[in-house]
Structure 1
Amino acid sequence: MVKGFKMKLYPGQEAEYERRHRELWPEMVEMIHAHGGKNYSIFLDRETLTLFAYIEIEDEEVWNQGADTAINRKWWDFMADIMETNPDKSPVAVDLKPLFHLD
């Protein structure tokens, strides 16, 4: 199963967002994989500062459980100063409806 969603950066934070993801903590990688995530990519629309994320997951319920892990909450805290977030510091993320797929 695939998921697509969008998030939004604050102005001037493009390089910092990229830097933080180049240095993604090994514990975050482990958590993503442990919750069925793989083939994860994030793209930036430079004009709107909108991030588009694509990830393949095994099970939506298992994937969603990753949000409640300590390492994920630490990552949200770490990223909150450079992107739009909810009151719990989770990124404001909007799921996108899949309309086309080609293998």
Structure 2
Amino acid sequence: MSIHAFRMQLKPGVLDEYRARHDAIWPELSALLTASGIYDYSIFLDEQTLSLFAVLKLAEDHDREALPDHPVMKRWWDYMAPLMEVEPDNRPKEWPLPLIFHHA
């Protein structure tokens, strides 16, 4: 198991829509994330900057690297692109967050 944390960035004025889309996450996307070895995935919001902070746990045999090629993932990124800062292929821009402290 490993933990991956990163930052993403919302555009102004889209928070309610971003939240609504995640409240209605597609079952096929949820199943894909689970099948890829991703679990315990949370996204936190800094309301002042509209920065999103994501933390997810990865199973040892995860296949997260294959997600960018999956049609469901591409469709989700296209769906979310108007709300976020994205790369040319519409995947959200990610800024990795290194672990500084952990208390178990």
Q: Percent identity?
A: 38
> What stretches of structure 1 of length at least 5 have no aligned partner?
none
The corresponding residue for 2:12 is 11
Do the aligned residues in 1 keep the contact of 2:38 with 2:62 (CA within 8 Å)? no
1:22 equivalent to 2:33? Answer no
In structure 2, how many angstroms separate the alpha carbons of the residues matched to 1:27 and 1:17?
A: 18
Structure 2: gaps of 5 or more residues: none
Distance in 1 separating the partners of 2:89 and 2:62: 20
How many aligned positions are there? 103
Q: Is the 8 A contact 2:36 2:62 kept in 1?
A: no
- Could you tell me the TM-score, scaled by structure 2's length? 0.94
SS of residue matched to 2:63: helix
What TM-score do the two structures reach when normalised by structure 1?
Answer: 0.95
Find the counterpart in structure 2 of residue 41 from structure 1.
42
Residue 101 of structure 1, CA deviation: 1.3
Residue 67 (structure 1) shift: 2.0
**1:59 Cα offset (Å):** 4.1
The secondary structure found in structure 2 opposite 1:85 is coil
